[in-house]
Structure 1
């Protein structure tokens, strides 16, 4: 096999590969010989069919396969000898379009190499970790939020108008085209205004109603994507008889409230809240620390990037941001989205950090264990009550989904590996300062 270099510029490589007719014929013979061992032709014992007959019957059918395997073998040998690692799938093209049996096979191969990532002394990286103490007012605020969730409702005085957040108890009958429909009737139904329990526009029209003998009509239109197809997009009139309007009153912060949330008493509930707040503060602190580490690495470590990887990442970023700005467009039937300079800048950062973390992780022999993967899958499966096993099996059988879940776990383990060697100092901050630091991450 003849391999001649035609391009060597930066990370770009190009080669002409020639597979001689003799090499191709030898590859065909090799494949036919392997098949002959298990082949039995009438008039011959198993494995004794003459090679000439094998070529006549099967030579053409294995020719293309032999050609592909020969080129693949040449590429594999090339990468082993040169140590080059292609950033993306190499572009392989056959150049002698007029090829016929007996001719040499000539192909061109072009690709971009993954760059050599320079060694980094992590001990020289200085980082500041924000540490927020759990203050009593934060625990009290959390208790008040729980008390608000456990609202009691007290009837307003006669003649009061319903406000957003009030609970309206009513009887109602819903009709479409003058006919009552299934599921559109109820008695003594308690509805908290602003809860979003009913279709859009319903609860808003109840703001300002009073308890009265005369019913009120609420006219709404079911969404086009409503789950009941016979109601989707239809206008409906709900005749509502308002029977009581009650204002929310936060529950008392006492042992009874604690027991509603599964704690033995108020002190036990406070302990649980402190643990939850500690976990939240730790998570926020780590998020800020991780961003500062990545910023430091992006600033300190420089190397050439494969243009094709940057272009692909920039297009993906542009496409994703376009859909975020156009949420009504679900599919990909839209004009082509062009990547801007800002997209390219962000893509360069992502590609550089991705290659850097991958190289650091590989050199440190960091792996994601089956136990870590199972825990991650179980956490996501909890979002689908009753379907946990089906979700788990689906993920386990889907290599692309597995890789999507493995990637952030690997990244976090590499980040922890680097932080463990970096020069990290702690800084005590308030809860509000920590919150501002988190909000700043979204603005960058």
Structure 2
């Protein structure tokens, strides 16, 4: 498995798992020994990126196609279909929901980004991992299996394309899914999207149209941030990139490995897999350049946060993290680390909004 790190795609400037809970990890001795001895000093941006003549091509809002509609309809039908919990020792069948723990190895080392814990997924063929999910068919619920596959030429970690990989898989649970179809009498009631099939499809089309608009906004922001990267004249040292990658690793993969009692040497090999991956390094450098560039723009333009913007951000975070506004407020007040992260997030959003206000959109 591979899950490359998120750049600033969430539009909030946080990386990896930070927006999935804001309950940040407590440092353990094992993790501390893998971190840099001292934080690297941020390099100075001698001149804030100019916003003069900032132009980007306006992204296209993709139309909703018939294929889009049918794919979402099928996904919703499956999502709302009845399920039966399989008993321990029962065989997994094709199309089941399965709860897995996964570790992947290649060339005698842990595959970067391959660790999954309590991962619910569908046991169905996936061309990005040929043979992996097929091997789960017939596996016993509650037991572990080893799955060997050849990583495809499209695998995210370029150095491992074509390599033989061995995945250790714990099949923790499985659910048999009885798929609903458009002929199922209970379908309309469980979908809750209309009293007729036409109404259901119309509502799905509206949802997809909104999502496509949101995607276009995301694409616009990414294009603007790419311009900020290009205009930020700063030398980002390699040890700062290392530090950013280690921080991301300690917040995502490390806790899962610690739960599995990985030894210190194994942990070191795991983080080195992240550090040596060229795409991870490029992504980390981009995040750093964006952060440094936006900070310099805020300072130069003397942009100040507005109270209503901070309130809106707290409401948005509460929705994303599935907590109440009050719970999130108590967490921010009780943990200085989380408060600093929130302040950084607020500054990032404010800076992005400021830059977006200066952009001239050019028709594509």
Give the TM-score normalised by structure 1.
0.43
Please name the residue that 2:340 is paired with.
Answer: 403
Unmatched segments (≥5 aa) in structure 1: 1-88, 92-110, 154-166, 175-190, 209-217, 224-245, 428-444
- Given the alignment of the two structures, is residue 194 of structure 1 paired with residue 131 of structure 2, yes or no? no
1:27-426 map, 5 Å: 114-118=44-48, 120-151=50-81, 194-196=96-98, 221=143, 248-252=178-182, 257-266=187-196, 267-299=198-230, 301-305=231-235, 311-318=239-246, 320=248, 329-330=257-258, 333=264, 334-335=267-268, 348-362=285-299, 363=301, 365-367=303-305, 369-382=309-322, 390=327, 392-426=329-363
| Change in 2 beyond 3 A, CA 1:117/1:126 | same
Contact 1:193/1:207 (CA < 8 Å) preserved in 2? no
Residues 229-261 of structure 1 show CA distances to partners (whole Å, capped at 9, x for unaligned) of: xxxxxxxxxxxxxxxxx9945332689533322
Residues 349-370 of structure 1 show CA distances to partners (whole Å, capped at 9, x for unaligned) of: 4333212212323425242633
Unmatched segments (≥5 aa) in structure 2: 1-37, 103-122, 124-133, 146-175
Query: C-alpha distance in 2, partners of 1:206/1:347?
Result: 35
Alignment RMSD (CA, Å): 5.1
Contact 1:115/1:304 (CA < 8 Å) preserved in 2? yes
Query: C-alpha distance in 1, partners of 2:321/2:235?
Result: 37
Query: C-alpha distance in 1, partners of 2:246/2:101?
Result: 34
Q: Quote the offset at 1:120 in angstroms.
A: 1.0
Please name the residue that 1:40 is paired with.
Answer: none
| Change in 2 beyond 3 A, CA 1:251/1:129 | same
| Change in 2 beyond 3 A, CA 1:372/1:128 | same
Q: How many residues align?
A: 252
Query: C-alpha distance in 2, partners of 1:192/1:344?
Result: 38
Contact 2:77/2:187 (CA < 8 Å) preserved in 1? yes
Query: C-alpha distance in 2, partners of 1:254/1:426?
Result: 46
Give the SS at the match of 1:131. coil
Whose radius of gyration is greater, 1 or 2? 1
| Change in 2 beyond 3 A, CA 1:356/1:326 | closer
Please name the residue that 2:151 is paired with.
Answer: none
Contact 2:57/2:362 (CA < 8 Å) preserved in 1? yes
Please name the residue that 1:213 is paired with.
Answer: none
RCO comparison, higher one (Cα < 8 Å, 6+): 2
Query: C-alpha distance in 2, partners of 1:274/1:259?
Result: 18
Residues 370-416 of structure 1 show CA distances to partners (whole Å, capped at 9, x for unaligned) of: 3123203421442x6xx885455223422321332443454344333
